Amino acid sequence: MPCLPPTLAAAATVAIFAAAAVPAGAVEVVDADDRHVEIADSSHVVSVGGSVTEIIYALGLGHRVAAVDSTSLYPPGVLSEKPVVGYMRALSAEGVLSTSPTLILAEEGSGPPETIELLEKASVPFVLVPSEPGAEGALAKIRFVAEAMEVPERGDRLASLVAEDLETVRRAVQHVPRKARVMFILSLSDGRVLAAGDGTSAATMIELAGATNALTGFTGFKPVNNEAILEAAPDVIVMMARGDHAASPQEVFAHPALAATPAATMHRLVTMDGLYLLGFGPRIAHAVRDLAAAIYPSLELPDLEPRSWTTGETEP
């Protein structure tokens, strides 16, 4: 009987032990903290993060959700139907674990850090779901959640349909005659403009919609002064439609610098639901299409096929 070379024999031994490390019927994922997490039971999951909850429901697994966080605003009715463990960035380990979950899926960015540290050490599998803004990040998130929920084939199917819709929108926005300069304002409090720079979720959505982020030269969401606003000269201003971040057109264009922009001249303020616009969940293609339609009202955009996860249905 031929012998394997030492290096191949060692590799084969490692592979055998690696395969044996995960029990039959269990799955292993590598989460956003680069932790290898073994999942044996996804029947009673706490879902933290609006887009994570959306994905679980889009996969047809809403019946497995034991509890959610307060950002789980979609599908409609989830917050009234499921126990709420608090806000994703202000969780308590006791509150999450009190729901007796078999699995905890929390979107990257959940906190505070001390709670995440406690949950990572708990006996219940805790998984931080990678959340990279962008089309590819949304598709990867769908597949990741599906794998953690032990339905990878459903994840591939859902991601494929979302990618198909994204490609339809991408082809359509290629035909804009001139890219609009768009400024996303996160908040307008006491006359201070907090806006999106490079590398933000808002900048990514603006670019996917065939436009240009008007503010560059800095990353993240930061306060911008009047000079920077005038220099940016946005054609369109985008804000969230509800909550503390919302503002009326009268409030926005009463700001002295914003009042001197092309957006004010044309009265171009676009407001959208925050989770829909910036969640990067399964509704991303429809959100990009709606944003493009608002930025370019005269552009002929194809209607996307209604999907169960975009029509408010809790199961496909």
Domain-ending residue, one of 165, 192, 226: 165
- Say if 47 falls within a structural domain: yes
- Please give the average per-residue pLDDT across 223-237, as a whole number: 97
Tokens at 39, concatenated: 């999942």
> pLDDT at residue 13 above 50?
no
Count of other CB atoms within 10 angstroms of residue 27: 16
Residue recorded with tokens 């490079």: 198
Length of the chain: 316
Provide the CATH number for the domain around residue 257.
Answer: 3.40.50.1980
Task: Please tell me the total count of domains within the chain.
Answer: 2
- Say if 13 falls within a structural domain: no
CA dihedral 240, 242, 243, 246 (to 10 degrees): 50
Model confidence pLDDT, tens digit, residues 97-109 = 999 999 999 999 9
- Band (pLDDT 50/70/90 cuts) for residue 1 is very low
Q: Under a CB-based contact definition with an 8 Å cutoff, are residues 83 and 67 in contact?
A: yes
pLDDT of residue 24: 56
Co-location of 47 and 159 in the same domain: yes
- Please give the average per-residue pLDDT across 124-152, as a whole number: 97
> pLDDT at residue 4 above 50?
no
Measured CA distances, 287 to 135, 176, 215, 290 (Å): 11, 18, 21, 5
Co-location of 65 and 142 in the same domain: yes
Co-location of 43 and 161 in the same domain: yes
pLDDT of residue 26: 87
> pLDDT at residue 6 above 90?
no
What are the phi and psi torsion angles at 48 (to 5°)? -115, 120
- Say if 306 falls within a structural domain: no
Co-location of 37 and 136 in the same domain: yes
Strands 103-107, 45-48: parallel, antiparallel or unpaired by DSSP?
A: parallel
Co-location of 111 and 159 in the same domain: yes
- Say if 15 falls within a structural domain: no
Q: Residue 48: in which H helix or E strand, if any?
A: strand 45-48
Model confidence pLDDT, tens digit, residues 19-73 = 344 445 789 999 999 999 999 999 999 999 999 999 999 999 999 999 999 999 9
Co-location of 139 and 256 in the same domain: no
Co-location of 185 and 260 in the same domain: yes
- Say if 300 falls within a structural domain: no
Q: Under a CB-based contact definition with an 8 Å cutoff, are residues 95 and 37 in contact?
A: no
Tokens at 104, concatenated: 């905890």
Domain-ending residue, one of 165, 198, 228: 165
Strand, helix or coil for residue 182: strand
Model confidence pLDDT, tens digit, residues 237-270 = 999 998 778 888 999 999 999 999 999 999 999 9
Co-location of 263 and 288 in the same domain: yes
- Please give the average per-residue pLDDT across 132-161, as a whole number: 97
- Say if 75 falls within a structural domain: yes
- Say if 97 falls within a structural domain: yes
Q: Which of 297, 234, 223 is nearest to 261 (CA)?
A: 234
Co-location of 48 and 160 in the same domain: yes
- Say if 308 falls within a structural domain: no
Domain-ending residue, one of 101, 133, 165: 165
231 is in which domain, residue-wise? 181-295
Residues 134, 243: Cα–Cα separation, whole Å: 24
Model confidence pLDDT, tens digit, residues 211-225 = 999 999 999 999 999
Co-location of 159 and 185 in the same domain: no
- Please give the average per-residue pLDDT across 174-182, as a whole number: 94
Co-location of 154 and 208 in the same domain: no
Co-location of 34 and 120 in the same domain: yes
Residues 191, 307: Cα–Cα separation, whole Å: 40
Strand, helix or coil for residue 219: strand
